[in-house]
Amino acid sequence: MIIDQIREKAGLYYPEVQAIRHHIHANPELSFQEYNTAEFISGKLTEMGISHTTGVAGTGIVALIEGRNPGKKCVALRADMDALPIQEKNETAYCSKNDGVMHACGHDVHSSCLLGAAHILNDIKDSFEGTVKLIFQPGEEKHPGGASLMIKDGVLENPKPDAIFALHVYPHQVTGTLGFRAGQYMASADEIYITIEGKGGHAALPHQTVDTIAIAAMLITGLQQVVSRKSNPLIPSVLTFGKIAGGFATNVIPDKVEILGTFRTMDETWRYEAHKWIKDFTKNTCEAYGAKVTIEIPPGYPSLFNDPALTAKAEEWGRAYVGTENVHELDLRMAGEDFSFYTHHVPGCFFRIGTSKGGQFTAPVHNPYFDIDEEAMKTGMGMMAWCAVQELNA
C-alpha cells in the first residue's frame, strides 16, 4: 500500500532530513535574505533530480514532480525558509552560527520536511496521477509576506494548483500527533504606524506646548474602543500597541511621538471597517488637541481560511496515517500567517505537527530556547507526501 511505502520512506530518509535541518538551523537567514538557504535547498533538489526554478520573488524556489498524466491535476506543498532576529540560547551542536538570527519559528523544520516529502514523492511518482508543486517561500515573518510576492510572480499558475497544503510546528502537542481546524483558523495581521507632531517645551510649562506624550496616552486608551464598542462582539479582534518612541528627558515635552501596533481580526469586511475607525479616531483626537498626525495601516496578511472540504479530507487522511487518537482539533489563533494569501486563491489546508517529546513542553515559538523533538519530522514529511498523493488520486 502507498501509505506503508510513505511511512517506510519517511523512516528511511529521516537521518538525511535531520542533517538537512541541522544545516539550515545552524545557518539562519532573515526574511528576504535567504540566499544561502535557497542555494542549499536548490542543491538538494538537484541531487534528487527534481526540476525547479530559483529566484522566484527574490529567493523563492518552485519545483515540480510529475506523476503519470501530469496535466490531470496539481497539488501544491509549501514551506517557508526565513528565520527571526532572535539570539539563540540553546546549546546544541546545530545551534545558530549567525549572531542575532535564529530559526525560532520552525521554518527550518518546514523546509526540511518538504525536502523529505519531495524525496518520497519523487520515488513513488509512478503511483499517482498529476503534478506536485513544491513551494519554498521566503519572507513569511515580514510584511508584505513572501507568499503575496510569490503569487505576484505566478507561483499559482502554470500549472495552477487545485489544492495547497502546509504544515507548522506545534510545541503544545506531542510528537506524532496532528492538528487540524476547518474554516477560519488564524487572524489577519495589519501593522499600524502613527506619528504625532506637536509643540515641545518645558515640562513645567505644558500650557505653552502641544503635549505629544499626553495625546499619545489618550490615543492608545481611546483606540481600544474601536474593538470594544465598534466591532461585533462575536468577531474576534485584537488591537495592540507594541512600541512607543518619544522624548529624551524627564522635564522636556517632545515635539514628536511615534506609536507602532497591530490590528488582527477574523473577518475581512470588519478588518477594513476597523482601519477606517482607527484612522478617523486618531486624526480627530490629535486635531482636537492641536497636534498633527500621520497614520499608515498598510494591508498585511489576510485571515487564514482552511477550506472545509479539503480539511475534512486531510483530517481523515491524518487519522489513517497516525491513528485517530493522535489527531486533534486546533483552537482559533489570533496570530497571523502569510499562507493565508494562498487560501484566498486556492482551496488550502494549514495543519500542525506536534513537536514536544513525551508531552514535555519546553519553549514556545519565537523564543530563544525553542527547539523540537526531531522525530516529529518523520510525521511531517510523511503527512505532506500522503496528503499530496491522496488529493491527486481523489
Active site residue ranges: 82, 140
Dist. CA 231–CA 271, nearest whole Å? 10
Asked if 25 contacts 110 with a C-beta cutoff of 8 angstroms, the reply is no
b/e burial code for range 125-160 (CB count within 10 A of at least 16 → b): beebbbbbbbbbbbbbbbbebbbbbbbebebbeebe
Q: CA of 64: how far to CAs of 154, 184, 210, 288, in Å?
A: 14, 29, 60, 58
CB-based contacts of 175, cutoff 8 Å, min separation 6: 354, 355, 356, 357, 373, 375, 376, 379
Asked if 266 contacts 335 with a C-beta cutoff of 8 angstroms, the reply is no
Dist. CA 362–CA 372, nearest whole Å? 9
Burial class of 324 by CB neighbour count within 10 A (0 to 12, 13 to 18, 19+): exposed
Dist. CA 25–CA 23, nearest whole Å? 5
